[in-house]
Amino acid sequence: MPEYESPWLFFSKKMPSLLEDVQAKMELCTYKRNTILFTQGEEHPYVYIVGTGVVRILTGDENGSEKHLMIAGPGSLLGNLSSLDGYPSLFTAATAEENCRLYRTTGPIFARMTAEIPGFKDFLIQDLCAKMRILAGNISSLSFQSADVRIVRAFLYLIRESGTPCRRGIKINIPFTHQEMADLVYSNRVTVSRFFSRLKKEGVIEKVNRYYYIRDVDYFYNYINELGV
């Protein structure tokens, strides 16, 4: 999982008025966990910007198997490809937390926003670049990095996108199973379970009521730095 700063956060700091202009033209909606925003292979009318919470981006096959591609946190733009090229969605998007707040608008309004709001077209370009880097990073990681390294990078990604400080350390606000982590890093459940057991034994992670807590964040950074990846 390559690290990058959300284009939304970058532009909202650089151009504070951009946030207000965009919010004024979009509807703020609240969704329960596991709400499907759009489905792979189907047309959908809306474009979203994540306000709070996180959204899972998945791909699947005709047999019903699913793979996690990325976790979209605050500031992520979703559904814009279909609004731009008119083709069905390449992915499925589903909310991963309770009470996710997303800004929503239709494709035609979104197209007008890119032309009318100063700076919004630049934001769109940066967002597409960020997603390209994520997908390219996933390909590189899968080709050249071990499963353990991919798991460590996935934890760092989840910490950044969904982590909140607490008395236990950092809480990952997305509940997930070993199999779901295996899907995210393109590995298998046995490999993930083995590495998770090691992390628990060394006091790096702790699981309480379906949620993981990171007790030692530096462990992950040191792990990456020592391997030079």
Q: Per-residue pLDDT tens for 14-51? A: 666 777 788 889 999 999 988 999 999 998 889 998 88
- Judge contact between 105 and 113, C-beta under 8 A: yes
The CATH number for 93's domain is 2.60.120.10
CA atoms within 13 A on the CB side of 53: 23
Q: Which residues contact 3 (CB under 8 A, 6 or more apart)?
A: 156, 157, 160
Start-end of H helices in 25-100: 80-85
pLDDT the model gives residue 16: 67
User: Residue 56 pairs with which residues in a beta bridge?
Assistant: 71, 94
Q: Token match 């008025």: residue? A: 17
Give yes or no: residues 155 and 210 share one domain.
yes
Q: pLDDT tens digit string along 45-98?
A: 899 988 888 888 888 877 777 777 777 877 788 888 887 788 889 889 998 777
**Among candidate residues 95, 124, 142, the one where a domain is terminated:** 142
Give yes or no: residues 116 and 151 share one domain.
no
**Among candidate residues 142, 167, 198, the one where a domain is terminated:** 142
> Averaged over 191-207, what is the pLDDT?
96
Task: Examine residue 1 and state whether it is found in any structural domain, yes or no.
Answer: no
pLDDT the model gives residue 28: 95
Full residue range of the structural domain in which residue 215 is found: 145-227
Task: Examine residue 87 and state whether it is found in any structural domain, yes or no.
Answer: yes
> Averaged over 170-189, what is the pLDDT?
87
Give yes or no: residues 64 and 137 share one domain.
yes
Give yes or no: residues 80 and 182 share one domain.
no
pLDDT the model gives residue 1: 44
Give yes or no: residues 205 and 154 share one domain.
yes
- pLDDT band with cut points at 50, 70 and 90 for residue 155: very high
Task: Examine residue 56 and state whether it is found in any structural domain, yes or no.
Answer: yes
Q: pLDDT tens digit string along 100-140?
A: 999 999 999 998 998 888 888 888 888 788 777 777 776 77
Q: Token match 């606000």: residue? A: 173
Question: How many structural domains does the chain have?
Answer: 2
**Among candidate residues 124, 142, 160, the one where a domain is terminated:** 142
Give yes or no: residues 203 and 218 share one domain.
yes
The CATH number for 153's domain is 1.10.10.10
pLDDT at 146 over 80: yes
